[in-house]
Amino acid sequence: MERTNKKPEKEAGQPCRPEEIEYLHALNRLTPAGRKRLLTWLHVRTYAADEPLFRQGEPALCLFFLLSGSLALEADSRTGRPDRLKIVAPGQACGSAALAGDAFYGESCLALEPSRVAVLPQTAFHQLLAGQPAIAAALLQGLLEETLDDWRQALRTYSGLTDHLTRANIIV
């Protein structure tokens, strides 16, 4: 089943200002000049509470950086209720599947409250990769570091749970 963006008017947004991207974790590796160049490819969108940014299975066309508000990443489950994977906080990114080429989003993203995001379309990333490879590489490195931080946090959270269950003889 092919899904399309139901809100084409949201494709474009307002220009992004330098102060809006100052605290984005995935951009930590960019120089000030690199951040300034990246601004030409970013735009800002706003989402209302309960409005989806993207749905699981849709083509991954944009990378999102949360400027304000909060987002939930959720995956479809067999129970019919989505499994909440993560709450995205301001400064964090989501939708990085868009940078992997012809990929699909592996989860859905929903605004939990009115939220503002900076958007990097996949086509803009490809232009960035071709014309400014150092900026593209720094962005990818920053996204990888953010992903590793998430993974380490999950490991700390769940390793304690596993240890507790093992001591209680729940896991053999």
Confidence at residue 157, expressed as pLDDT on a 0 to 100 scale: 77
Span 59-81, mean pLDDT? 94
Report which secondary-structure segment, H or E, holds 135: helix 133-167
Residue 122 is assigned to a structural domain of this protein: yes
> How many domains does one find in the chain?
1
Residue 9 is assigned to a structural domain of this protein: no
* CATH code for the domain in which residue 37 is found: 2.60.120.10
Residue 106 has pLDDT above 90, yes or no: yes
Residue 21 · residue 76 · CB < 8 Å: no
Confidence at residue 64, expressed as pLDDT on a 0 to 100 scale: 98
User: Domain range holding 94?
Assistant: 14-167
Residue 8 is assigned to a structural domain of this protein: no
CA dihedral angle for residue 41, residue 117, residue 36, residue 15, rounded to 10 degrees: 60
Backbone torsion region of residue 62, taken as left when φ is above 0, otherwise alpha when ψ lies between -120 and 50, otherwise beta: beta
* DSSP for residue 104: B
Residue 5 is assigned to a structural domain of this protein: no
Q: How far is CA 79 from CA 56, 72, 107, 114, in A?
A: 16, 18, 16, 28
Residue 21 is assigned to a structural domain of this protein: yes
Span 39-53, mean pLDDT? 97
Instruction: Give residue-wise pLDDT tens across range 122-166.
Output: 999 999 999 999 999 999 999 999 989 888 887 887 777 776 677
